[in-house]
Chains A and B, each alone.
Chain A
Amino acid sequence: MTQISIRRLAAATGIDTRLLAMAGALIVIALVFNSFTQGAFLSPRNLWNLAVQTSMVGILTTGMVLVIVTRNIDLSVGSVLGAIGMFAAVVQVQILPPDVWWNTPLTILCAVAVGITIGAFQGFWIAYRAVPSFIVTLAGLLIFRGVAWMMTEGRTIAPMEENFQLLGGGLRGSIGAFWSWFLGGLAIALVLFRIVASRRRRHRYGFAEKPLWGDLLTGGLWVGAISAFVLTMNAYNRPGTQIPQGIPIPVLLLIGTVLIMETIARTTRFGRYVFAFGGNPEAARLAGIDVRKLVLLVFVIMGILAAVAGILATARLNAGVNSTGTLAELSVIAAVVIGGTSLAGGAGSIAGAILGAVIMQSLENGMVLLGLPSAMQQVVIGSVLILAVWADVVYRRRVA
């Protein structure tokens, strides 16, 4: 009975049952941690921090989904983001003059250019020289960690320009109550507009329309979620003041990245080809798709995202440190896999990966609040990874 109604609900709202299950798991995790920490977990302050902590891994997962969907893997993202984060610090502090307005934009531009170059370099070996991505990016993991150290012989580079620091969140790195509501309102308007537009389009082509209550429910859930998010971010005041923080800038970067990557994955030829190649590489090739260029581009995108994550990490630490991003690749891959992306390729979703990242970060954050020793935290995270993938295997077998 309940199973049937959940399935109907999913069909009417167009929400994946897998995403619903993950959202359910997240709510359970949050409630359990909240009761064991006497309400500290769900406090605005902690949720605000959680959002900032998730942004770096979240940005990387959007690219890793495409990498894994094309039957590849990228083990180098942690090292690449470390190297680029360090490079950005060197450019800003040691090369460009301080206190000029164009220092930060130019630093960002240079960092992204390096990200594109590194992505193209690794993508070239994988796509055009047929070296397995596992090997190329394992080599990348070593090479770029070494490069991060060699740039300054291990020295930490600090401090960053003030406007650069904003990108990492930090004390002033959020947009305040007014702009948070402004963006939230814009998002709500966009969601409602898209629902109406989609109904019209299906009507014009004479396709079956979703039931009205389904669309109303979807719209209601979105409006509720966006409002709750803005309210929470505004409920946390700058320490020692009555001024609401609002949405942190790194979280805005994450949201922007997700929107762009979802658009690429769902509405462009490139996105369609990524999934077609993942499902059947030979079919994609015979359909006349330039599959080598496709794989190269996927790694270029991963490089750009690693640059964004590197900028964000350096901004947050207010320093270039050569160990930044160590082991980040594992968090990213775990989040993507928990989010339902198949390592066999062809199946995966960016929304799922973001949820996966939030779940992983919530576990870590909650265990820190509980004061669990870090060794124990690793045991828990590892076990959750196995359980999550096992649940996914069972789910796939049922659906098939």
Chain B
Amino acid sequence: MRTPLIEMRNIHKQFGGVVALDDVSVTLHRGEVVGLLGHNGAGKSTLIKILSGAYEADGGEILVDGAPVTIRSPRDARANGIETIYQTLALADNLDAVANVFLGREIVTSLGRLNDAAMEHATSDVLAKLKVVDLKSVRAPVSSLSGGQRQSIAIARAIHFQAQILIMDEPCAALGPQETAMVANVIQELKRQGLGIFLISHDLHDVFALADRLTVMKGGRVVGDCHTADVTQDDVLAMIITGRPPA
């Protein structure tokens, strides 16, 4: 059997007395999109925040390409090729697209000064690759951009730095139909390039269109793991609600 790109084993996380994650194990392979499903409070976000370095797990281990890694901060996650696109997008709205794409990883000259020209050049390139439409200027504050354009900038930030693993939290929640289609195209393209993608969404329709495999969570545990082709939306809905695999 192939080594998974990501394997999270027996992850445990507690907030005070509340158990948020109880012995959770998930895997993700190259070129695979795994949909993470579940109600609010099922533990999807907590799991994903542990992988992206926003939280630290209380127990369990994370393997990238079969090798155990330690992820204590967003910086550690990025060093392991894990990029996260948060539902809130985590953009500094007062800054321009260039500053946001390179936030925390700026290109500097040999004297340590920001090399804005080089960063502007690279940003224009990566946004062109994403086929972002109608972007007035990469130097305008991102607060002046549309929802889809802001989403593109968050995606551009992840792919510019050669992510291996992409975590997308509700990527289409705030988007119109056209923009949703654009995000879907981007996901297909990244899949072809061999990235592994965790997709978190409430919208079963989106998930069925994009994901190869589904992992369903309830009450801090994994209650089901199946290939999208083998189940119907009704089966999955039942799993989310009852927490039992389909008969």
Question: A268 to chain B: closest CB distance in Å?
Answer: 7
Say if the beta carbon of A371 comes within 8 Å of chain B. Answer: no
Looking at chain A's contact residues, is the secondary structure mostly helix, strand, loop, or mixed?
helix
Measured between beta carbons, the chain B residues less than 8 angstroms from A282 are 88, 90
How many Cβ-Cβ contacts under 8 Å join chain A to chain B? 76
Cβ–Cβ contact A288 & B106, under 8 A: no
Give Cα A283–Cα B74 distance, bound, in whole angstroms.
11
Interface residues of B in 81-110 (CB under 8 A from A): 84, 86, 88, 90-95, 99, 103-106, 108
Give Cα A288–Cα B65 distance, bound, in whole angstroms.
23
Cβ–Cβ contact A275 & B112, under 8 A: no
Cβ–Cβ contact B120 & A275, under 8 A: no
**CB nearest neighbor in A for B106:** A269
Cβ–Cβ contact A287 & B90, under 8 A: yes
Cβ–Cβ contact B106 & A267, under 8 A: no
Cβ–Cβ contact B90 & A276, under 8 A: no
Q: Which of A205, A275, A276, A279 contacts B121 (CB 8 A)?
A: A205
Measured between beta carbons, the chain B residues less than 8 angstroms from A283 are 90-92, 103
Cβ–Cβ contact B94 & A286, under 8 A: no
Question: A340 to chain B: closest CB distance in Å?
Answer: 13
With contacts A267-B114, A275-B95 taken as known, whether A280 is within 8 angstroms of B90 at the C-beta atoms is yes
Say if the beta carbon of B117 comes within 8 Å of chain A. Answer: yes
Interface residues on B, range: 20 to 34
Measured between beta carbons, the chain A residues less than 8 angstroms from B120 are 205, 207
0/1 string, B122-136, CB within 8 A of A gives 1? 000000000000000
Measured between beta carbons, the chain B residues less than 8 angstroms from A204 are 117
**CB nearest neighbor in A for B121:** A205
Measured between beta carbons, the chain A residues less than 8 angstroms from B52 are 286
Give Cα A335–Cα B73 distance, bound, in whole angstroms.
39
Cβ–Cβ contact B92 & A276, under 8 A: yes
0/1 string, A280-305, CB within 8 A of B gives 1? 10111111110000000000000000
Cβ–Cβ contact B94 & A202, under 8 A: no
0/1 string, A317-329, CB within 8 A of B gives 1? 0000000000000
Measured between beta carbons, the chain A residues less than 8 angstroms from B114 are 266-269, 272
Looking at chain B's contact residues, is the secondary structure mostly helix, strand, loop, or mixed?
loop
Cβ–Cβ contact A288 & B75, under 8 A: yes
Measured between beta carbons, the chain A residues less than 8 angstroms from B2 are none
Cβ–Cβ contact B54 & A275, under 8 A: no
Measured between beta carbons, the chain A residues less than 8 angstroms from B205 are none
Say if the beta carbon of A8 comes within 8 Å of chain B. Answer: no
0/1 string, A242-274, CB within 8 A of B gives 1? 000000000000000000000000111100100
Measured between beta carbons, the chain B residues less than 8 angstroms from A268 are 112-114
Give Cα A154–Cα B93 distance, bound, in whole angstroms.
49
Interface residues of A in 314-347 (CB under 8 A from B): 346-347
Cβ–Cβ contact A275 & B94, under 8 A: yes
Cβ–Cβ contact A276 & B103, under 8 A: yes
Q: Which of A205, A278, A280 has the most CB of B within 10 A?
A: A280
Measured between beta carbons, the chain B residues less than 8 angstroms from A275 are 92, 94-95, 99
Cβ–Cβ contact A286 & B117, under 8 A: no
Give Cα A289–Cα B104 distance, bound, in whole angstroms.
6
Say if the beta carbon of A155 comes within 8 Å of chain B. Answer: no
Q: Which of A207, A266, A289 contacts B117 (CB 8 A)?
A: A207
Say if the beta carbon of B78 comes within 8 Å of chain A. Answer: yes
Question: B85 to chain A: closest CB distance in Å?
Answer: 11
Measured between beta carbons, the chain B residues less than 8 angstroms from A347 are 94
Say if the beta carbon of A201 comes within 8 Å of chain B. Answer: yes
**CB nearest neighbor in A for B49:** A286
Question: B88 to chain A: closest CB distance in Å?
Answer: 7
Measured between beta carbons, the chain B residues less than 8 angstroms from A278 are 94
Give Cα A284–Cα B113 distance, bound, in whole angstroms.
19
Cβ–Cβ contact B117 & A287, under 8 A: no
Cβ–Cβ contact A279 & B93, under 8 A: yes
Question: A388 to chain B: closest CB distance in Å?
Answer: 21
**CB nearest neighbor in A for B144:** A400
Q: Which of A272, A280, A286 contacts B84 (CB 8 A)?
A: A286
With contacts A207-B117, A269-B108, A289-B104 taken as known, whether A284 is within 8 angstroms of B92 at the C-beta atoms is yes
Q: Which of B54, B91, B92 has the most CB of A within 10 A?
A: B92
Cβ–Cβ contact A285 & B74, under 8 A: yes
Cβ–Cβ contact B106 & A272, under 8 A: yes
Give Cα A284–Cα B104 distance, bound, in whole angstroms.
8
Cβ–Cβ contact B104 & A288, under 8 A: yes
Cβ–Cβ contact A280 & B91, under 8 A: yes
With contacts A276-B95, A276-B99, A347-B94 taken as known, whether A286 is within 8 angstroms of B78 at the C-beta atoms is no
**CB nearest neighbor in A for B114:** A267
Cβ–Cβ contact A286 & B54, under 8 A: yes
**CB nearest neighbor in A for B116:** A267
Give Cα A204–Cα B120 distance, bound, in whole angstroms.
13
Q: Which of A282, A287, A347 has the most CB of B within 10 A?
A: A287
With contacts A269-B106, A272-B99, A272-B106 taken as known, whether A280 is within 8 angstroms of B93 at the C-beta atoms is yes
Measured between beta carbons, the chain A residues less than 8 angstroms from B74 are 285-288
Give Cα A276–Cα B114 distance, bound, in whole angstroms.
14
Q: Could you show 22 A-B contacts with beta carbons less than 8 Å apart?
A: A202-B117, A204-B117, A205-B120, A207-B120, A268-B112, A269-B112, A269-B114, A272-B95, A275-B94, A275-B95, A275-B99, A276-B99, A278-B94, A282-B88, A283-B90, A285-B74, A286-B54, A286-B84, A288-B75, A288-B78, A346-B92, A347-B94
Residues of A within 8 A of B (CB): 201-202, 204-205, 207, 266-269, 272, 275-280, 282-289, 346-347
Interface contacts beyond A275-B94, A288-B75: sample of 11 additional A-B pairs, CB < 8 Å, sorted by A: A205-B121, A266-B114, A267-B113, A268-B114, A275-B99, A279-B92, A285-B74, A286-B54, A286-B86, A288-B105, A289-B103
The 8 closest A-B pairs by CB, nearest first: A287-B104, A279-B94, A279-B92, A288-B75, A346-B94, A283-B90, A276-B92, A287-B103
